[in-house]
Chain A
Amino acid sequence: MGELHFPWMEASILVPLVGAIWIRFFANPDHSFRQAVAISGLTLALTVGELIDFIMLGTFAAHDHWAVIDWLFHQEVFVVDELSAFLLPLGALIHFVTVLSTLRTKAPRFSLTSTLVSEAILLATFSCRASWTLVALMCLATLPVYLELKRRGRCTRIFVLHMSVFVVLLVVGYAALQWTGEVSQSVLIPGALLTAAALLRSGIAPLHLWMTDLFEKATFGTAILFVTPLTGAYAVMRFVLPIAPDWALQSIAVLSLVTAVYAGGMSLVQREARRMFCYLFLSQASLVLVGLELVTPIGLTGALCVWLSVGLSLTGFGITLRSIEARISRISLADYHGLSRHMPTLAGFFLLTGLAAIGFPFTVGFVGMELLIEGAVEVYPLVGMTVVIAAALCGIAVLMAYFRIFTGRSHATLIPMHARRSERIAVLMLTVLILGGGLVPQPGVASRYHAAKELTEKRALNPITHATKNYDNAHHDSDDSDTDESDDDDDVVGRDHDD
């Protein structure tokens, strides 16, 4: 394992944590918003530094230099690998643009302290591999949201019910895994518990009601920050992928596909923008899970690419809706609003992020979606095509929302609604990444493929998982070996057979 040249991870976790304490107890309320932007900006810079350092090391995993926690506890707590190296800056970016795009008039309703604490927890989560620390952090992440719901005086029953089940399943599942061991035949039981926990956290239907409820009752910013980093998918990667057999994962992939189509359909019948966003997100996030659970290198690469694309584009889509909400309160989709003349930048960005989310050409989501569909079709040719249907439904929903919010009527207002400077900066940052990643996708895809390959190799070390056949095939082919085993595999994998 390599060693970074600076304790990037610990610093990036500590900065928002200390920042939260500062803002809560010491900062002048008039300046707290600006300071929160600076703190989350610094955190983003640290995570980007960590990514660059990690890439320069050229290793699969690395830990911090002068890691205080490792020194204190004699244990590797925070480790960055090829999966999390990109997720850390993504998580920091999501927080940064959300804080940056918060209008000052709305700042009192949006807790900066809670946001910074959540950011620290998220970065710590993404810096952890499967361990009790990761379990604890995932459980802890639910607390700031719960506290916000309580503070706002909203009913917490749905959130508490779902998250309690999630916590119990996660804790019991991981304890059972420790007891049985990862290579035991009885690993299926803890595997099932951990899978159920991850699916619940990801909002797979019919366990998604907490998510729609959260968007109803929490502030929009908090809801975006809780769901868009796809912590549930991270749980799948860390807890489930290394131990679950192929057949189990692929069965879950079908469940995720059903959710993707269901949520795509539901996004079309919603009459309120937040709910529409929630279902759109759910559909796209389910597609990420589909790819993760296909356990083929192509599918996994597609999922990791779509993960980044969903994080970027749907955060952008969400903060645009939030900016509009900040001006006119909740947005009805039952009729047309005609706001494009008043907020042309936000209108353009809304369309761009929406199209990126559905994988429109030359946006960051396009190649990821192609890979994902390719991977899905490899495993289940007919069912895999359902991914295309889900994407089509989401595409219709995106343009419908655009038309409803920004067009359809002539609307005059005396109050300026154009994007503020901070919103423009947030929009521009995301636009550069969405278009840059779309126009030059090769570096991103190569890095995600490398991560997918390493993860698949690690998975192959566990005899319980029945090492992924496709990956073996690729190696057999590249080695020019012509064994009976690879011939059998060719029958299983349509693509290789065809090739």
Chain B
Amino acid sequence: MTAVEWTFQVLGTAVVVSPAILIAVLGLTSLVGRPLSESSVARLTQAAVLFSLTPAVAILVMMLALGTRYVPIEWGDWVTIPEQEFHFHLKFVFDRLSIPFVILSCVLCGVVGSFTRRYLHREEGYSRFFLYYAVFFTGMVTSSLAGTIETLFVGWEMVGLSSALLVAYFDQHENPVRSGQRVWSIYRLSDAAFLIAAISIHHMTGEGDFGGLMSSGIWPEGTAAVTPQQALFVGTLLLIAAAGKSALFPFSGWLPRAMEGPTPSSAIFYGALSVHLGVYLLLRVSPLLEVSLVLQCLVIGLGVVSALSGALMSRVQHDVKVSLAYASLTQVGIIVVEIGFGLKYLALIHIIGHACMRTMQLLRAPTLLRDYQTMENALGSRLPASQSRFGTWVPVGVQRWCYRYGFDRGFMDIALDRWIVAPFMVLFQQFDVWERWTTDKISREPSRESDAIELHPEDSERAA
């Protein structure tokens, strides 16, 4: 190994290891019941971000100086069964796609971490927030740099879990928790699609390495070594996974619910990073999209529908964070369209610009309302509402329908609840009824003692 390669290896390892150390420290201290002080947590977080960001920037500088476009960091096989050619390879890749995304992740995580230090000062869940934040940060860095689809899945899962738990951050209230559950449910289903796609890729190419999938060239110039049918199958699964993670149509319903979490998490997850992870995945496998025209059309169609829906919905929300979230969806939809048309660099630049702007908007949102009120108090009247000239040209009937569509959030939640959740629940509740009937018959008496449980036994203070 040459000195340059060795330097790359050390720096690349530092980028990935630093967030993992943060999780280990915050997690272990919580587990053994010795939580750190607020200032220690904040300092550790800042140090972790810095020790991740600085090596990432150093790698970028070195790559620019040396004219290198592709730096793989090999950690070897995490698990291997050589005889069966099964291996879980830990490989991280620094290339034109991952470098901007990982630097973006570090910068925005750093900004939001710094903001949160003051925003959640003396909050009861301060340490909990930063533990979830550490899981998220590690997940983002892992996903950004993943050189194999399995490694990307590991990071993807970590981002999903931390997102759901942070939505439910205000855990003494029911609504945030319900929202967290909703986010998790959508994520799990999209994760299932991702996992199936990962296994399919493994079977098609014999390995999960992105280099194996894009058999020639490095991003963005690779060509996928699969047939159009295979590309359509795997690509559709990945599209479902991306749609779930990026809240694209028809999974957008969780996006406003996700705003139940504290503002910093809303900013970093749903304004900036997490919501772009799905489109990042599409960018990463973009050579796969180029193999199948049908798949490209699907991607463009999904992007268009999502962008239009987001635009309609963001206009009629009464909550600033929700409105911004739907505005994000519009932009994400447009990014998906760009990816569908093969405009990869444009999509990447769009992601970076949009993520930065939206983070700042969301962090500013709580104070913005107060500023509006101050201005209105000074004026003595409401500020004039802006009116769209285009809106006046649209027939009243269409306007009303659009309003209702936006107000009901595209009917997506209603449709998912009515057509997927409700039939599922009814079916399994019916199975439950049959089981009860059978056990009652065999027992010749009511067989379920659990029917008599108290709803809130803890309130009776009979605890041991």
Residues of A within 8 A of B (CB): 103, 105-106, 155, 157-158, 161, 209, 212-213, 216-217, 262, 265-266, 268-272, 274-275, 297-298, 301, 326-332, 334-341, 344-345, 348, 355, 360-362, 367, 370-371, 373-374, 377, 381, 385, 388-389, 391-392, 395-396, 399-400, 403, 406-411, 413-415, 417, 428, 431, 441-442, 445-446, 449, 453, 474, 478, 494-495, 498-499
Contact flags B191-219 to A (C-beta < 8 A → 1, else 0): 11001100100111110000000000000
Interface size class of B (residues with CB under 8 A): 35 or more
> Per a CB cutoff under 8 Å, which of B33, B161, B189, B439 touches A392?
B189
* Nearest-Cβ distance from residue A295 to partner chain B, whole angstroms: 14
Q: Is B177 an interface residue (CB 8 A)?
A: yes
Please state if B428 and A268 are interface contacts (CB–CB under 8 Å): yes
| CB-CB contacts below 8 Å: B80-95 with A | 80-81, 83-86, 88
| CB-CB contacts below 8 Å: B47-81 with A | 77-81
What is the CA–CA distance of A361 and B191 in the complex, to the nearest angstrom? 13
CB closest residue in chain A, given B85:
A499
User: A103-B464, A298-B84, A498-B204 are known contacts. Are A442 and B78 too (CB-CB below 8 A)?
Assistant: yes
Q: Is B435 an interface residue (CB 8 A)?
A: yes
> Per a CB cutoff under 8 Å, which of B177, B439, B453 touches A403?
B177
User: A330-B453, A388-B196, A409-B174 are known contacts. Are A339 and B188 too (CB-CB below 8 A)?
Assistant: no
What is the CA–CA distance of A297 and B84 in the complex, to the nearest angstrom? 8
Please state if B199 and A348 are interface contacts (CB–CB under 8 Å): no
What is the CA–CA distance of A130 and B428 in the complex, to the nearest angstrom? 38
Please state if B442 and A431 are interface contacts (CB–CB under 8 Å): no
A-B contact pairs, 26 of them (CB 8 A): A106-B464, A213-B439, A213-B447, A265-B428, A265-B431, A275-B450, A298-B86, A327-B458, A329-B454, A329-B462, A331-B457, A332-B457, A337-B458, A344-B30, A360-B161, A361-B153, A377-B203, A389-B192, A403-B181, A407-B171, A408-B172, A409-B173, A413-B461, A413-B463, A417-B463, A474-B83
Q: Is B425 an interface residue (CB 8 A)?
A: yes
What is the CA–CA distance of A495 and B173 in the complex, to the nearest angstrom? 49
> Per a CB cutoff under 8 Å, which of A269, A339, A411 touches B429?
A269
Please state if A445 and B453 are interface contacts (CB–CB under 8 Å): no
- Residues in B whose Cβ lies below 8 Å from that of A441: 78-79
CB closest residue in chain A, given B35:
A344
| CB-CB contacts below 8 Å: B123-169 with A | 150, 153-154, 157-158, 161, 164, 168
Q: Is B455 an interface residue (CB 8 A)?
A: yes
Please state if B196 and A385 are interface contacts (CB–CB under 8 Å): yes
Q: Is B280 an interface residue (CB 8 A)?
A: no
What is the CA–CA distance of A341 and B128 in the complex, to the nearest angstrom? 12
| CB-CB contacts below 8 Å: B414-461 with A | 424-425, 427-429, 431-432, 435, 438-439, 442-445, 447-450, 453-459, 461
Please state if B161 and A209 are interface contacts (CB–CB under 8 Å): no
Please state if B154 and A361 are interface contacts (CB–CB under 8 Å): yes
Please state if A331 and B202 are interface contacts (CB–CB under 8 Å): no
Please state if B442 and A105 are interface contacts (CB–CB under 8 Å): no
- Residues in A whose Cβ lies below 8 Å from that of B427: 265
Please state if B439 and A158 are interface contacts (CB–CB under 8 Å): yes
- Residues in B whose Cβ lies below 8 Å from that of A274: 450
- Residues in A whose Cβ lies below 8 Å from that of B4: none
> Per a CB cutoff under 8 Å, which of A335, A385, A453 touches B455?
A335
Please state if A414 and B171 are interface contacts (CB–CB under 8 Å): no
Please state if A161 and B442 are interface contacts (CB–CB under 8 Å): yes
* Nearest-Cβ distance from residue B413 to partner chain A, whole angstroms: 16
- Residues in A whose Cβ lies below 8 Å from that of B458: 327-328, 337, 339, 411, 413
Please state if A216 and B450 are interface contacts (CB–CB under 8 Å): yes
Please state if B447 and A445 are interface contacts (CB–CB under 8 Å): no
CB closest residue in chain A, given B172:
A410
Please state if A411 and B459 are interface contacts (CB–CB under 8 Å): yes
What is the CA–CA distance of A219 and B463 in the complex, to the nearest angstrom? 18
What is the CA–CA distance of A391 and B199 in the complex, to the nearest angstrom? 15
8 cross-chain pairs, A with B, having the tightest CB-CB distances, nearest first: A407-B171, A272-B450, A410-B172, A392-B192, A361-B154, A415-B463, A330-B453, A327-B463
Q: Is B396 an interface residue (CB 8 A)?
A: no
Q: Is B185 an interface residue (CB 8 A)?
A: yes
User: A269-B425, A335-B456 are known contacts. Are A396 and B78 too (CB-CB below 8 A)?
Assistant: no
Q: Is B184 an interface residue (CB 8 A)?
A: yes
- Residues in B whose Cβ lies below 8 Å from that of A272: 450, 453
Please state if A155 and B464 are interface contacts (CB–CB under 8 Å): no
User: A407-B172, A417-B463 are known contacts. Are A374 and B202 too (CB-CB below 8 A)?
Assistant: yes
CB closest residue in chain A, given B170:
A407
User: A298-B81, A389-B192, A415-B463 are known contacts. Are A332 and B199 too (CB-CB below 8 A)?
Assistant: no
Please state if A407 and B168 are interface contacts (CB–CB under 8 Å): yes
Please state if B199 and A377 are interface contacts (CB–CB under 8 Å): yes
What is the CA–CA distance of A499 and B205 in the complex, to the nearest angstrom? 8
What is the CA–CA distance of A269 and B450 in the complex, to the nearest angstrom? 14
User: A213-B439, A407-B168, A410-B172 are known contacts. Are A266 and B203 too (CB-CB below 8 A)?
Assistant: no
What is the CA–CA distance of A388 and B449 in the complex, to the nearest angstrom? 33
- Residues in B whose Cβ lies below 8 Å from that of A373: 195, 199
Q: Is B31 an interface residue (CB 8 A)?
A: yes
* Nearest-Cβ distance from residue A494 to partner chain B, whole angstroms: 6
What is the CA–CA distance of A360 and B31 in the complex, to the nearest angstrom? 18
Q: Is B303 an interface residue (CB 8 A)?
A: no
Please state if A370 and B150 are interface contacts (CB–CB under 8 Å): yes
- Residues in A whose Cβ lies below 8 Å from that of B158: 361
- Residues in A whose Cβ lies below 8 Å from that of B174: 336, 408-409
Q: Is B180 an interface residue (CB 8 A)?
A: yes
